[in-house]
Amino acid sequence: MAPVLEVAGLKTHFFTRAGTVKSVDGVSFHVDRGEVLGLVGESGSGKSVTGFSVMGLIDPPGKIVEGSIKLNGKELIGLDEEGFRKVRGREVAMIFQDPMMTLNPVLRVDTQMIEAVTAHDKVSHKAARERARDALAKVGIPSPEERLNAYPHQFSGGMRQRVAIAIALLHRPPLIICDEPTTALDVTIQSQILAEMQSLCAETGTALVWITHDLGVVAGLADRIAVMYAGRIVETGAVDPVLDTPLHPYTSGLLGSLPAEGEPGAPLRQIRGSTPSLARLPQGCAFAPRCDYAQADCLAQAPAVTAFPGERGVRCHHPLNLAGVAA
């Protein structure tokens, strides 16, 4: 079966006065139908820019300089604004971290939802309103008929995020890109949203790209993981092998940094240093200056992707835990 989304060699660069910022620098991944891909990374790793690139939301000084993004077999790069309008909402939707930025603060929720429905479907105002109401009910908003008449500021953070999800689901797109949608929410509300997303996706067969920095959320939700560092995917694979036997020293370091996994009170295994500036990346492997296993070749040459059976891949000269993946 053809994947819903296939990204190959994507390079999104920002041309600023301080130099070229290579936010996304050669990213390739795919998402199958109904699959949840967790795109994990720290701030500045390029995970959000990857999502924006798929949605065609890169504005100058940013530019997609290379690569291909195929959605249901159709190439998106080179599509004009009119073409993207037809795709957005219908074939791919996006949910952002801060729903206050997605929702128009001066329009009532029904206005915004009806507009989203009629953007792609020629239906009557009444039918569109009914669809909006049903979508709100589906994401667990109590008394949806009355809530349609409310403004975004009248909702709580969790409810606002539900409205954003309801809008994303209006046209039942085969793919939704979720950019840290639960990061700003409390634990119990986050859990509600995750449960909601899980059952909705199981019901409709929607594939998700779940962008987050939280490995715990990804472990509970995703089928596969892609770990990003400094604009590149450094490790991919199914959730279990990546979290149990990480190949890349960065993945291993991230897991060691999690306070939940360490012995209470014992020092955490930290990664030294901090993330490099994307405008001045080192010549070799971007992680080499922080890596405990770095050798001479790491500093000289950037590693290519080594593939392993089971859709496993790592971008490292000296991967760890190799015994676990030997075919």
Partner 1 sequence: MSAPILTLDGVSKRFTKPLDAASKFANWMGAGYTEQVVHAVDGVDLSVTQGEVVGLVGESGCGKSTLGRVVAGIHPPSAGRVSWRGQFTDEMDAQQRRAATLAIQMIFQDPMSSLNPRLRVTDIVGEAPVVHGLVEKAQQDAYVVEMLERVGLDPSYRRRYPHQFSGGQRARIGIARALAVKPQFLVCDESVAALDVSIQAQVLNLFMKLRDELNLTYLFISHDLSVVRHLSDRVVIMYLGRVVEAAPASELFKGPQHPYAQALLANVPSITARKKRFAPLKGEIPSPLHPPPGCHFHPRCPMAGPRCKAERPVLKQIAPGHVAACHLHDGGVGALAA
Instruction: For the CB of residue 176, give the shortest distance to partner 1 in the complex, in Å.
Output: 17
Instruction: For the CB of residue 63, give the shortest distance to partner 1 in the complex, in Å.
Output: 26
Q: Does 156 bind partner 1 (CB under 8 A)?
A: yes
Cβ–Cβ under 8 Å, residues 96 and 102? yes
Phi, psi of 324 (to 5 degrees): -70, -20
Q: Does 190 bind partner 1 (CB under 8 A)?
A: yes
Cβ–Cβ under 8 Å, residues 233 and 212? no
Please report, in angstroms and rounded to a whole number, the separation of the first and last CA atoms in the chain: 25
Q: Does 216 bind partner 1 (CB under 8 A)?
A: yes
Member of 137, 194, 305, 320 binding partner 1 (CB under 8 A): 194
User: How far is residue 228's CA from residue 250's CA, in Å, rounded to a whole number?
Assistant: 9
Closer to partner 1 by CB, 27 or 40: give it: 40
User: How far is residue 214's CA from residue 218's CA, in Å, rounded to a whole number?
Assistant: 7
> Which residues, in sequence order, are CB contacts of 314 under 8 Å at separation 6+?
234, 235, 236, 247, 248, 305, 306, 308
Closer to partner 1 by CB, 108 or 276: give it: 276
Cβ–Cβ under 8 Å, residues 201 and 210? no
The CA-based angle 21-27-30, given to 5 degrees, is 150
Closer to partner 1 by CB, 85 or 269: give it: 269
Contacts with partner 1 in 218-277 (CB under 8 A)? 219-221, 223, 239-240, 243, 253-262, 264-265, 267-272, 274-275
Closer to partner 1 by CB, 54 or 185: give it: 185
Member of 1, 17, 18, 43 binding partner 1 (CB under 8 A): 43
| Chain contacts with partner 1 (rule: CB under 8 A) | 42-43, 156, 158-159, 186-192, 194-195, 198, 213-217, 219-221, 223, 239-240, 243, 253-262, 264-265, 267-272, 274-275
